[in-house]
């Protein structure tokens, strides 16, 4: 069976009218209902112009299979996760394309308890039903439909991560990118004010707007970062925060407006949790990890490696009862939040850490940057026939000097003073390279050039 292009390893997404349309969304609703027999499903949507129609079709497909639907309307992905667990629903579906281009959309799916659904754990079954399209007559009576807004309870859960006692004042710039983060943030900010938390906020691009007048919200793109950076400097803020479209990822800027790379944010959050629960386990991906391992061990915790991808990280966290898991891509997962990723909990914790430390955010990160500089993720698109050969060339060049080779996720090679991770993307036809060194930026530049030349096809 030929796989539909919109079905990825962990979710559904593609170009409107090419990979995904209302008819497909309707069949996905019926397929999800048929494959998972969820009884009740929570459905939400982002601000994209196409999202209301896709959500309507999805809901109709679910109801035609006799499934009861709780419609959250406009919300963030993590609000669907929260409501799925809080309402005891058998599944949750979020219509969103997150940070993808404007002509894209998609659907994120979870099962009971907001557990992830991957290709191996249910998505393939949904796919095959969608392709077959043989659902027969609609179920009578149709599933019930009701509208709910769990935002108050969700905001209470987020704020519960913060201890309001003894915090010093902070100024924060928050950039919602005209996605759906603004309303959820406001609910959280109201609770912080009621608790007497001395944080003040400058809101940027705060109102959801389907036209995305300031561009698609993807703070990871370098061209999208100057706006938040400038706002931080203009406001004299201590911290800058920016979210992607469905706010399941958040990104940080220090008081100078400098963007903070994801691996250092993971380390900051690990430090925050180890202060709250000494000895806790922290799950991390293997792309960039030396600094994180040092921070966790220094805090008396236990670092636990995982493959990249939310389903892998969440499963690993459950296996080892980890309090927190983080990926350098700005996905952060929390045991007390159904092991799910959140883009709101991280800024609460980072702000608390800065407030209590009495130090600037740049100071908290500076030592980590100096001890373990890294390349950032570099993408390559070699010809399909040359992908395996490119990996083989890298391994052949590095193996003679290697101290350790790990194949948990792609290939990771420890060469003493430097380390590389090379892996195929789970979602695109790309090879992804990360290199880190022990305090040597000149060596980092040299090795990036050498390994890039071996792979070829840098994007």
Q: Is 412 part of the annotated catalytic residue set? A: no
DSSP annotation of 119 reads I
Residues constituting the chain:
459
Task: Report DSSP letters for 291-340, one per residue.
Answer: HHHHHHHHTT-EEEEE-SSHHHHHHHHHHHT-SEEE-TTS-EEEGGGTTE
Q: Which residues pair with 93 in a beta bridge?
A: 43, 109
Task: Count H helices and E strands in the chain, helices first.
Answer: 14, 21
Handedness of CA 3, 246, 282, 436 (dihedral sign): positive
The H-or-E segment that residue 160 falls in is none
SS3 content of the chain, % helix, strand, coil (to 5): 40, 25, 35
Residue pair 171/235 in contact (Cβ under 8 Å)? The answer is yes
**Catalytic-role residue among 51, 98, 118, 412:** 98
- Residue 229 DSSP code: H
Q: Which residue's structure tokens are 């903070």?
A: 260
Q: State the chain's maximal CA–CA distance in angstroms.
A: 68
Residues 6+ apart with CB under 8 A from 243: 175, 176, 177, 179, 181, 217, 219, 249, 250, 251, 343
Query: What is the rounded distance in angstroms from the CA atom of residue 415 to the CA atom of residue 434?
Result: 14
Catalytic residues: 98
């Amino acid at each position: 069976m030929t796989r539909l292009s919109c079905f990825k390893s962990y979710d559904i997404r593609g170009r409107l009218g090419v990979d995904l349309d209302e008819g497909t969304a309707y069949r996905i609703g019926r397929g999800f209902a048929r494959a998972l027999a969820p009884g009740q499903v929570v459905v939400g949507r982002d601000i994209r112009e196409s999202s209301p129609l896709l959500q309507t079709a999805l809901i109709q497909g679910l109801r035609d299979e006799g499934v009861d639907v709780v419609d959250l309307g406009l919300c963030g992905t993590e609000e669907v996760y929260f409501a799925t667990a809080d309402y005891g629903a058998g599944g949750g579906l979020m219509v969103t394309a997150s940070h993808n281009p404007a002509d894209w959309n998609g659907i994120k799916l979870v099962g009971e308890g907001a557990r992830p659904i991957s290709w191996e754990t249910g998505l393939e079954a949904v796919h095959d039903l969608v392709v077959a399209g043989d659902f027969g007559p609609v179920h009578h009576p149709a599933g019930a439909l009701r509208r709910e807004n769990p935002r108050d309870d969700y905001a209470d859960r987020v704020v519960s991560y913060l201890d309001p006692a003894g915090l010093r004042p902070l100024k924060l710039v928050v950039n919602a990118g005209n996605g759906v983060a603004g309303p959820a943030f406001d609910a959280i900010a109201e609770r912080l004010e009621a608790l007497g938390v001395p944080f003040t906020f400058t809101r940027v691009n705060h109102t959801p707007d389907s036209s995305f007048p300031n561009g698609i919200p993807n703070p990871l793109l370098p061209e999208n970062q100057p706006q938040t950076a400038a706002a931080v400097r203009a406001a004299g803020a201590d911290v800058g925060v920016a979210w992607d479209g469905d706010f399941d990822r958040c990104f940080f800027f220090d008081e100078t407006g400098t963007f903070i790379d994801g691996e250092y944010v993971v380390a900051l959050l690990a430090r925050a949790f180890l202060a709250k629960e000494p000895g806790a386990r922290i799950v991390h991906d293997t792309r960039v990890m030396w600094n994180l391992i040092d921070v966790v061990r220094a805090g008396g915790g236990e670092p636990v490696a995982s493959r990249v991808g939310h389903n892998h990280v969440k499963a690993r966290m459950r296996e080892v009862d980890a309090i927190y898991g983080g990926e350098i891509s700005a996905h952060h997962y929390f045991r007390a939040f159904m092991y799910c990723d959140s883009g709101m909990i991280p800024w609460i914790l980072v702000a608390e850490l800065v407030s209590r430390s009495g130090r600037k955010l740049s100071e908290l990160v500076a030592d980590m940057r100096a001890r373990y500089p890294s390349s950032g993720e570099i993408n390559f698109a070699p010809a399909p026939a040359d992908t395996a050969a490119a990996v083989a060339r890298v391994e052949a060049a590095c193996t003679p000097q290697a101290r350790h080779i790990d194949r948990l996720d792609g290939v990771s090679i420890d060469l003493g003073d430097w380390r590389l991770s090379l892996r195929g993307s789970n979602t695109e036809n790309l090879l992804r390279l990360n290199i880190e060194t022990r305090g040597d930026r000149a060596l980092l530049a040299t090795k990036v050039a050498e390994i890039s030349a071996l792979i070829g096809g840098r994007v």
